[in-house]
Chains A and B, each alone.
Chain A
Amino acid sequence: MIKSIILKNGYKEFVLKNEKIIAMDNVNLEFKTGKFYVIMGHSGSGKSTLIQILGLLDNLTKGELFINGKDVSNLTENEKADIRMQEIGFVFQSFYLNPRLNALENVMLPMYINSKIEKKERKEKATKLLSSFGLENRKKHYPKELSGGEQQRIAIARALANDPNFILADEPTGNLDIKNEKIVFDTLRNLADNGKSVIVVSHNENIKNYADEVIYIENGKVR
Chain B
Amino acid sequence: MNILDCIFLSYMNLKNRKKNVYTTIILISLAVVIFVISLSYTNKFLESMEKAINKNISYRTIAVIPNYETSQEEIIKKVLNVSNIVKVVPQKEYYTAVDIENIDNNLLDNASVSIQGANEDIQPSIIEGRGFYKNENDVCIIPEKFYPYNLDENFNSEDLIDGKTLIGKDIIIKYYSYDYSDGIQKVNQAFEKKLTVIGIYNQDENMAEYNDCYISFNDMSSIISDIKENTVYSENTIVAGGNGVFAIVDEAKNVKSVESALKELGNDDYRVIIRSVANTELMESIQIVCVIVSIVLMFIAFVNITISTIKSAIERKYEIGMQKAIGFKNRQIQWITFTENIIIGSLSYIVAIALTVIINIILKKYIIDTNSQLYQIGLNIDIIICLIALIISLIVPIISSFICNIAILKKTPVSLNKER
**Mask of B292-308 contacts with A, CB within 8 angstroms, 1/0:** 00000000000000000
List the B side residues contacting A78 at CB < 8 Å.
329-331
- Is A197 positioned at the interface, with any CB of B under 8 Å from its CB? no
**Mask of B1-39 contacts with A, CB within 8 angstroms, 1/0:** 110010001001001100000000000000000000000
| Given pairs A77-B330, A110-B326, 6 additional interface contacts (CB within 8 A) | A58-B414, A81-B328, A82-B327, A84-B325, A100-B15, A109-B9
List the A side residues contacting B322 at CB < 8 Å.
96, 98
**Mask of A92-124 contacts with B, CB within 8 angstroms, 1/0:** 100010111100010001101100000100000
List the B side residues contacting A113 at CB < 8 Å.
1, 326-329, 332
- Is A37 positioned at the interface, with any CB of B under 8 Å from its CB? no
Q: Which of B322, B325, B328, B331 has the most CB of A within 10 A?
A: B325
Q: Which of B298-357 contact A (CB under 8 A)?
A: 319, 321-322, 324-332
- Is B412 positioned at the interface, with any CB of A under 8 Å from its CB? yes
Q: Which residue of B lies closest to A59 (CB)?
A: B412
**Mask of B382-420 contacts with A, CB within 8 angstroms, 1/0:** 000000000000000000000000000000111001000
A43 to chain B, nearest CB (A): 15
Q: Please determine whether A90 and B5 come into contact, CB atoms closer than 8 angstroms.
A: no
Q: List 28 A-B contacts (CB under 8 A).
A: A55-B325, A58-B414, A59-B412, A78-B329, A78-B331, A81-B324, A81-B330, A82-B329, A83-B327, A84-B324, A85-B326, A85-B328, A88-B327, A90-B326, A92-B325, A96-B322, A96-B325, A96-B417, A98-B16, A100-B16, A109-B9, A109-B326, A112-B5, A113-B1, A113-B329, A119-B2, A119-B5, A158-B326
Given contacts A99-B16, A100-B15, A101-B12, contact A110 B327 (CB under 8 A): yes
Q: Please determine whether B413 and A57 come into contact, CB atoms closer than 8 angstroms.
A: yes
Q: How many residues of A contact B (CB 8 A)?
A: 29
Q: Please determine whether B1 and A52 come into contact, CB atoms closer than 8 angstroms.
A: no
List the B side residues contacting A110 at CB < 8 Å.
326-327
List the A side residues contacting B330 at CB < 8 Å.
77-78, 81
List the A side residues contacting B326 at CB < 8 Å.
84-85, 90, 109-110, 113, 158
- Give Cα A52–Cα B413 distance, bound, in whole angstroms: 9
Q: Which of A64-96 contact B (CB under 8 A)?
A: 77-78, 81-86, 88, 90, 92, 96
- Give Cα A82–Cα B324 distance, bound, in whole angstroms: 10
Q: Please determine whether B327 and A57 come into contact, CB atoms closer than 8 angstroms.
A: no
Interface of B is mostly: helix
List the A side residues contacting B321 at CB < 8 Å.
96
- Give Cα A119–Cα B332 distance, bound, in whole angstroms: 17
Q: How many residues of B contact A (CB 8 A)?
A: 23
Q: Which of B30-87 contact A (CB under 8 A)?
A: none
Q: Please determine whether A52 and B327 come into contact, CB atoms closer than 8 angstroms.
A: no
**Mask of A151-180 contacts with B, CB within 8 angstroms, 1/0:** 000000010001000000000000000000
List the B side residues contacting A96 at CB < 8 Å.
321-322, 325, 417
- Give Cα A158–Cα B323 distance, bound, in whole angstroms: 12
List the A side residues contacting B327 at CB < 8 Å.
81-86, 88, 110, 113, 162
**Mask of B83-99 contacts with A, CB within 8 angstroms, 1/0:** 00000000000000000
List the B side residues contacting A86 at CB < 8 Å.
327
- Give Cα A130–Cα B57 distance, bound, in whole angstroms: 83
- Give Cα A112–Cα B412 distance, bound, in whole angstroms: 21
- Give Cα A90–Cα B322 distance, bound, in whole angstroms: 10
List the B side residues contacting A90 at CB < 8 Å.
325-326
- Give Cα A125–Cα B417 distance, bound, in whole angstroms: 28
List the B side residues contacting A100 at CB < 8 Å.
12, 15-16
Q: Which of B9, B16, B325, B414 interacts with A112 by CB under 8 Å? A: B9
Q: Which residue of B lies closest to A88 (CB)?
A: B327
- Give Cα A85–Cα B329 distance, bound, in whole angstroms: 9
- Give Cα A83–Cα B325 distance, bound, in whole angstroms: 11
- Give Cα A206–Cα B16 distance, bound, in whole angstroms: 37
List the B side residues contacting A81 at CB < 8 Å.
324, 327-330
A68 to chain B, nearest CB (A): 16
